[in-house]
Amino acid sequence: GAVVSQHPSWVICKSGTSVKIECRSLDFQATTMFWYRQFPKQSLMLMATSNEGSKATYEQGVEKDKFLINHASLTLSTLTVTSAHPEDSSFYICSARDSLAGGRNTQYFGPGTRLTVL
């Protein structure tokens, strides 16, 4: 159980274009999902917290107009990188918290999406 999928797993795009990444919880409901970015040999850096039916909460230094997050259902959150630039190239990982887990803050991670902006 507790499987999180991401699509696409790998994307290459031209500078200036927008890229949408999907994160799905396959066998549980997730009122809260998290988006992380990971640069090579670095740890995961939280970008934003996505709450179903409400606006996302962005971490300091993350541009909300550049990284658009939509959490329209209990099993799907999307991250759109708008007007992507080469410095946005990174490994983007989502995680989802099981809504029925009670007080236990267990996050299940997706396999990640590698974005390369040319």
Q: Give the nearer residue to another protein in terms of CB position, either 61 or 102.
A: 102
Q: Among candidates 28, 49, 18, which has minimal Cα distance to 108?
A: 28
SS3 content of the chain, % helix, strand, coil (to 5): 5, 50, 45
> Considering the complex, what minimum distance in angstroms separates the CB of residue 83 from another protein?
26
- CB of 55 vs another protein, minimal distance in Å: 14
As measured in angstroms, the least distance from the Cβ of 118 to another protein is: 19
Residue number with CB closer to another protein (29 or 51): 51
Q: How far is CA 2 from CA 5, 8, 56, 85, 96, in A?
A: 10, 19, 22, 33, 9
- Report d(CA 8, CA 21) in Å as an integer: 6
Is residue 57 within 8 Å of residue 49, measured between CB atoms?
Answer: yes
Nearer to another protein, 66 or 114 (CB): 114
User: Residue 27 or residue 83: which is nearer to another protein going by CB?
Assistant: 27
User: Can you give the binding site for another protein, defined by CB under 8 A?
Assistant: 4, 6, 31-32, 34, 41-44, 46, 49, 51, 91, 93, 95, 97, 102-112, 114
